Amino acid sequence: MRSEAAVIHVGEALASGILHVVSALADETVAAGLPTVVIYGRRPETPADLPDWFDPRVRLVPVDGWGDRSPVGSLRGTARAAVVLQRELSRLQGGVLHLHSTYAGVLGRLVPTPGWRRFYTPHGYAFLNGSHSPALRGLTLVSEAALASRAHTIAVSRAEGAVAARFARGQTVSVVQNGVDYDSPASPGPEMDERFLVASVGRAAYQRRPDLFVEMKALLGDDADTAFHWFGDGPDRELLVGAGVAVSGWLPKPDAAAAIARTDILVHFSAFEGLPLSLLEAMGAGRPVVASDLPVIREVVDDAGILVRNPPEAAEAVRRLRADESLRAELSARAHDRARRLFTRRAMVERTLATYGL
């Protein structure tokens, strides 16, 4: 790698899958001797032990209030982030600026960056989020179209890359699929229910459709031998709790891995995705999965799980897997092999650095 280069990552929503990706990339470049900075906002799901996710040589620069999604708070946070970004750009001699998700993508493609090569990863385009107002979705769509030529887009899946290509207008779009370190140590974790466990993992919000998980649970009915858990937290927590789903809250990384490993069936409903790391983690742990039939999910799962279009199909898939131990074992083996063969952290990091030109 060139010794004069530096790397700056910018992410308003440094949590969940984005945090896994940024920490993997940042640790690699700082270990290679490149000054590496992460400018970030804090969301409710951002872990309190954030420094523990990074090599201590990575410089973490928080932006106060960047993560507040209220109209006024969002504007103030973004203005602060612009000041911080310009300061950090001026401190270093140039290199790679990698923008993660919509807010960072808009900011970083508007700020002048002489001497820096800009890269942008949507991690799931915001205009696909049906929980946003039509006005906001329209604004983000227009922004993506207008700013696409101002950075090299690195999509996290072939499905996201196809969307990016429609904006590119001749600009290069690269696809680097997300990957996971499947051999990181897991803690013993909290004591788990010994019943047959049907679980979901992630932010309890529209993207992960907790309402569909609740509907599926109702269709399955009460069964003293089956437990339903949601590993994560979010604004729709009470919807889940009210339906009798146990919600763990945000777990430390080793505890989350342990919880997934104890799950009998992982259900992954989704409204839209970049490429879901929680699904990769479940597959890598050899968990049979039932997931929404979306292009990006098909890209990940293929024949290593059961794809469904709605809660009745999901309920039927859970019943089928619950009753057929050999089918669970077959899908577990397929999922384990597919995830660890195709979606590794090492491959993700190496392909991203090659795209940077480092």
Check residue 191 and give its pLDDT: 59
Sort 76 into a burial class: Cβ within 10 Å, 0-12 / 13-18 / 19+.
middle
Q: Can you give the pLDDT of all 358 residues of the chain as single tens digits?
A: 444 689 999 999 888 889 999 999 999 999 999 999 999 998 888 888 899 999 999 999 999 989 777 778 888 989 999 999 999 999 998 999 999 999 899 999 999 999 999 999 999 998 888 888 898 899 999 999 999 999 999 999 999 999 999 998 778 899 999 999 987 655 555 556 688 999 999 999 999 999 999 999 999 998 889 999 999 999 999 999 999 999 999 888 888 889 999 999 999 999 999 999 999 999 999 999 999 999 999 999 999 999 999 999 999 999 999 999 999 999 999 999 999 999 999 999 999 999 999 8
Angle CA(118)–CA(121)–CA(124) in degrees, nearest 5? 155
Tokens of 104: 């960072």
Check residue 48 and give its pLDDT: 86
Contact of 245 with 229, CB cutoff 8 Å: yes
Angle CA(71)–CA(49)–CA(73) in degrees, nearest 5? 10
Reduced 3-state DSSP string for 39-105: EECCCCCCCCCHHHHCCCCCEEEECCCCCCCCHHHHHHHHHHHHHHHHHHHHHCCCEEEEEECHHHH
Check residue 1 and give its pLDDT: 41
Domains and CATH numbers, the chain: 6-179+345-356 (3.40.50.2000), 196-342 (3.40.50.2000)
CA distance 339 to 349: 16
pTM of structure: 0.90
Check residue 341 and give its pLDDT: 96
